[in-house]
Structure 1
Amino acid sequence: MATLKHINSKNADYGAAERYLMFEHDEFTMKPVLDENGRLIPREDYRLSALNCGEEDFAVACMRSNLRYGKNQRREDVKSHHYIISFDPRDGPDNGLTVDRAQELGEQFCREHFPGHQALVCTHPDGHNHSGNIHVHIVINSLRIEEVPFLPYMDRPADTKDGCKHRCTDAAMRYFKAEVMEMCHREGLYQIDLLNGSKNRVTDREYWARKKGQLALDKKNAPMIADGITPRQTKFETDKDKLRQAIRAALSASTSFVGFSEKLLETGVTVKESRGRLSYLTPDRTKPITARKLGDDFDRAAVLAVLEQNAARAAEQPAAIAEYPHAGKERPQPTKAAKTAPEQDSLQRLIDIQKKLSKGKGRGYEKWATMHNLKQMAATLNAYQEYGFTSPEELETALAAAHAGLREVSGELKKLEIRLAGKKELQRQVLAFAKTKPVRDGLKAQKSEKARTAYRQAHESEFIIADAAARYFREHGISKLPARKALQAEIEGLIVQKDGLYHDYREQKERVRHLQTVKDNIDQMLRRNEPQRGRRQDLDR
């Protein structure tokens, strides 16, 4: 699940960003790590490239551009923007993502969405918490040195001009997140919905507070663990974590908003509502924490939805009989959901041992392969029973149905991709046509045919773009251009829809693979693929 993070920096030392990317830094203090001689320690593995810097170093090129345009000279100016694309740790082993490929994707993303900016693109093979996630750093100078086309996330004419600065607005971040999701779909990587928030929203500050608190707690518990004493607390929780637990506990035991507020008040938390938004005030604070900072599960709509479900469930439960005073106090036992499919991670295909031995494998391999086949036979029979098959023909029917389902999802996904590509092309043409509006208006202001001809010659490139866009609109029967914001919202909706279909496609593909493995193993166990004569000879032995 690729994620996108943005950090702006007011540091005038552009070389600091380059040093951070190339040398080891402490994950808590962000200070460089030095060796015994006081020198910087290079990172073990990384890829680094500079864009739009010519033959100069990134820091020198940025400072030279700032001086030329007279920008980024004040202390409060944002000097650079730092974007981080972090890929899922599973993308390496499962989808073949390498550091070099991630670097190529980062450079492509930078060229498409930050044109005209001096940039550093660096890929690291692992995160600071050693989770194995490949991630790409994109550091751009906030100043634009070239005029660029009008991109979908831009909303001002100055956003395309050279000598102006990059602005990371909320609309821009939504656009970048949508593009990251689209990139992951295109490359076959794991991805989650980045556009609709998260149930538990953890800020960067809270994340590092967890890390530092856990480190301090582990240090405190180390002497007790060494003495054989089990510590009372082993997992550090921030104040927001505790508040989330208190809110969920109050929600699960309430059927109305009044009851929910009273339950929270018993723990010292006050619920406040202002302009349709909830906030929570804890006893140790003077300023409440908004629901937006806690996550989507804690806003007003989500809270009311849970309370409504609780009230509906309470109304459906029959009242306790008076003759049995303890009936109403008994807790209903949770029912375990029935298992509908076997575990699909452990099943592998059987090995043709004789074929491997004929290729030169030794006795050690034969012994291992024999044990492997015995385990996979047991797993295959277990899967066969859990699926509920009573004959190999039922297995073949289920496999054919799974293939049909995979083809259906694949067809829907391709149709959606074609539709999304069409919407993106329409967006590109609309933006190009909108950018040429001042030139087209200038042509109308010309009084004579000679002046109009000269004007068209002076702005020939703009009129070529406008004519191409108008021709595209005519060919597709578009008489009224859509609003840019509505078109962008439609594209984001299609990307979210594609995200859901892509997950369905992965599940269908995994089911087909699993059923095919079961079928191949059953065939090999029953020797259904061998001639009938050979099978009888084996039985006669």
Structure 2
Amino acid sequence: MAVTKIKPIKSTLKKALDYIQNPDKTDGKMLVSSFGCSPETADIEFEFTIAQALERGNNLAHHLIQSFEPGEVDYQKAHEIGKQLADAVTKGKYEYVLTTHIDKGHVHNHIIFCAVNFVDYNKYNSNKRSYYGIRNMSDRLCRENGLSVVAPQKGGKGKSYAEYIAEKTGTSWKGKLKIAVDALIPQVSSFEELLSRLQAAGYEIKPGKYVSCRAPGQERFTRLKTLGADYTEEAIRERIEGRRTRTVKAPKAERGVSLLIDIENSIKAAQSRGYEQWAKIHNLKQAAKTLNFLTEHQISQYEDLTAKIEEVQTESEKAGDALKGMEKRLADMAVLIKNVSTFQKTKPAYDTYRKARNKDRYRAAYEGTVILHEAAAKALKAVGISKLPNLAALQAEYEKLQEQKEALRADYGKLKKQVKEYDVIKQNIDSILRQPKEPEREKEMERG
């Protein structure tokens, strides 16, 4: 089990980076990793990236903490999971430093990543949605590594997205008003009578160019026209006079095949006869869809089905591996572009430093620039770059690879959908094959 939390770093970036890299907490810095930067110069590299952003914001970095259940994971595995999480969150675009602390009762990872990415210099948007995305990534990695996952608290009543939106935008009041208007239209002979009846029902009416209504307890008035095209004054008058009917939404396209319900072992079916009847009809429909699917895909034998599932699964895994490989290639190229760009931008100052009579004095004045140039040169040398590549050509290649990645992602998504679809088909077929045949049931009844 891993618990995650994230907070912004608005100042003291170096202090935060020094803290997470504390040798006493990281097994002598053995559990320190980084991407797109050197752990020793990360604060300077972060600030250099931020300086190039069009919209900087107030944050220098974001500090993500991933804590594991005591005794559930060893240090190296925790660090490995932390790297997978950091890569998933930053997507090969943000510099980060990852450390694993082992000085407390529970192992935990610290990930500090730059607030601005070094590919297009856009800032990271940290909000509830992005946090839940991080939490889901962490949970998925825990499952993949055989760790437990945090379960929702029992008895806790959360809000659905619809409830949240209703509270924020007032759509719950709109919904009630629409119901009231729809109910009154068949009963009244004029728009004025409808308003009078609404007023009698407790609504406060505000006349004007756009008629507005406010229910008891509602803070603001709601204009009728904001309820939709069928609720403007003109539309309501036409509906009252019978010259217009309320627009009915087209039914949604029916989904694919769903799993059959195990009625015999369903507690809900045992408790509700209505649900049991619905489940039987549902199963008949899904069984028919399952058989239609097999016919459409020319699958007549169970062995053919299992072979097809294996084929699709293999294709999906290959596509997934290809996508991961492309993401790794893009991440490496993004870092290369960053280092080439940094090298070029800092070279004039570094050349001046090399020629300066008083190098110590010059370095003290331009220390950040000198460090950035040396870090970029070191990184380029580490990947075997002796001759500086053309930056424009690298960026053009990166764009092409990005397009290829999106195509791979689309293919992988389709294959994943197929895998899921075939899995449902197989489960349904297995369920159908397990069911006793009707004649056998009748014989058993006769014997009884």
TM-score by length of 2: 0.44
Q: Which has the higher contact order (CA 8 A, sep 6+)?
A: 2
TM-score by length of 1: 0.37
Structure number with higher helix proportion = 2
